[in-house]
């Protein structure tokens, strides 16, 4: 069984039961004119993980391993969008409003789609999720069970919001999760640092973390 040096202790997995999850690498979060920028966020803080995720996607594809892409978005009629979420943060442009890339965070609009660097290939699962948790009101758990997936390598944005939420909810469902340290970023670097520490505290109470190089080197050696 492959073993990866990780925090807080080595991460073991069966290569036949592992998948890569890429969380919310969308234009609305990563590019100018999107929802993230409307909240006043500095987009430069999340740029470093983009290439790392692209490298991991290439390695998983070469190894023939499953990749799952999530995107946070809502139905055009906003029926799955709580009023409290739409108003939270007092954004310049609210979810559902028209922005430079179409309606903000609405499924099917240009802004809700993936950035080219991390876009899914045909056959890779895309999960449209209405919340921060990729398991909430989606088919993710059923898909993973059907594929007999027990281990998740997690990447994406932002570390302390959708990434952390999904990892915690995966842990509650029995999945062993490894968060790639340089494969995730936050608009607030200090939040990322604290989140990494919190997830691996108390003997890995939520899961493991490791740099991408260790994951890439292990996959290349298999």
pLDDT at 222: 86
pLDDT at 88: 80
The residue-averaged pLDDT of 173-189 equals: 98
pLDDT at 69: 98
Q: Write a three-state SS string for the chain.
A: CCEECCECCCEECCHHHEEEEEECCEHHHHCCCCHHHHCCCCHHHHCHHHHHHHHHHHHHHHCCCCEEEEEECECCCCCCCCHHHHHCCCCCCCCCCEEECEECCECCCHHHCECHHHCCCCCCEEEEECCCCCCCCCCHHHHHHHCCCCEEEEEEECHHHHHHHHHHHHHHCCCEEEEEEEEEECCCHHHHHHHHHHHHHHHHCCCEEECHHHHHHHHHHC
- The span from the CA of 98 to the CA of 92, in Å, is 11
Q: What is the pLDDT of residues 88-144, one digit of tens each?
A: 877 778 899 999 999 999 999 999 999 999 999 999 999 999 999 999 999 999 999
Q: Is the pLDDT reported for residue 218 higher than 90? A: yes
Considering the candidates 24, 28, 133, 185, report the single residue annotated as catalytic: 24
pLDDT at 129: 98
CA-based nearest residue to 154, from 146, 144, 202: 144
Contact of 105 with 93, CB cutoff 8 Å = no
Considering the candidates 71, 94, 129, 192, report the single residue annotated as catalytic: 129
Residue whose tokens read 């494969």: 183
| pTM score, whole prediction | 0.96
pLDDT at 39: 87
Q: Is the pLDDT reported for residue 64 higher than 80? A: yes
Sheet with strand 151-157: strands edge to edge: 125-129, 67-72, 18-23, 151-157, 176-185, 208-210
Q: Is the pLDDT reported for residue 152 higher than 90? A: yes
Q: How many Cβ atoms are within 10 Å of 47's Cβ, its own excluded?
A: 12
Question: Has 129 been annotated as catalytic?
Answer: yes
- The span from the CA of 68 to the CA of 117, in Å, is 15
pLDDT at 1: 86
Question: Has 162 been annotated as catalytic?
Answer: yes
Q: What is the pLDDT of residues 1-59, one digit of tens each?
A: 899 999 999 999 999 999 999 999 999 999 998 889 988 899 999 999 999 999 999 99
Contact of 54 with 141, CB cutoff 8 Å = no
Instruction: Look up the CATH superfamily of 3-221.
Output: Isochorismatase-like (3.40.50.850)
pLDDT at 38: 84
Considering the candidates 30, 49, 162, 177, report the single residue annotated as catalytic: 162
pLDDT at 22: 98
Question: Has 146 been annotated as catalytic?
Answer: no
């Amino acid at each position: 069984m492959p073993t990866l040096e990780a925090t807080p202790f080595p991460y073991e997995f069966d290569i036949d039961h592992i998948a890569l999850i890429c969380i919310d690498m969308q234009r609305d979060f990563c590019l100018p004119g999107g929802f993230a920028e409307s909240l006043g966020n500095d987009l430069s803080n999340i740029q470093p993980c983009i290439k790392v995720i692209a490298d991991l996607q290439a390695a998983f594809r070469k190894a023939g391993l499953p990749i799952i892409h999530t995107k946070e978005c809502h139905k055009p009629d906003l029926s799955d969008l709580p009023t409290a979420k739409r108003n939270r943060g007092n954004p310049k442009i609210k979810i559902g409003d028209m922005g430079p890339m179409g309606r903000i965070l609405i499924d099917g609009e240009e802004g809700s789609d993936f950035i080219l660097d991390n876009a899914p290939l045909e056959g890779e699962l895309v999960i449209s999720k209405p919340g921060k948790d990729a398991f909430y009101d989606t088919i993710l758990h059923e898909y993973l069970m059907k594929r007999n997936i027990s281990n998740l390598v997690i990447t994406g944005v932002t570390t302390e919001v959708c990434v952390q939420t999904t990892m915690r909810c995966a842990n509650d469902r029995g999945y062993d999760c490894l968060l790639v340290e340089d494969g995730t970023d936050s608009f607030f670097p200090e939040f990322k640092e604290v989140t990494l520490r919190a997830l691996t505290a108390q003997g890995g109470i939520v899961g493991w973390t490791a740099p991408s190089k260790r994951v890439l080197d292990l996959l290349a050696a298999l």
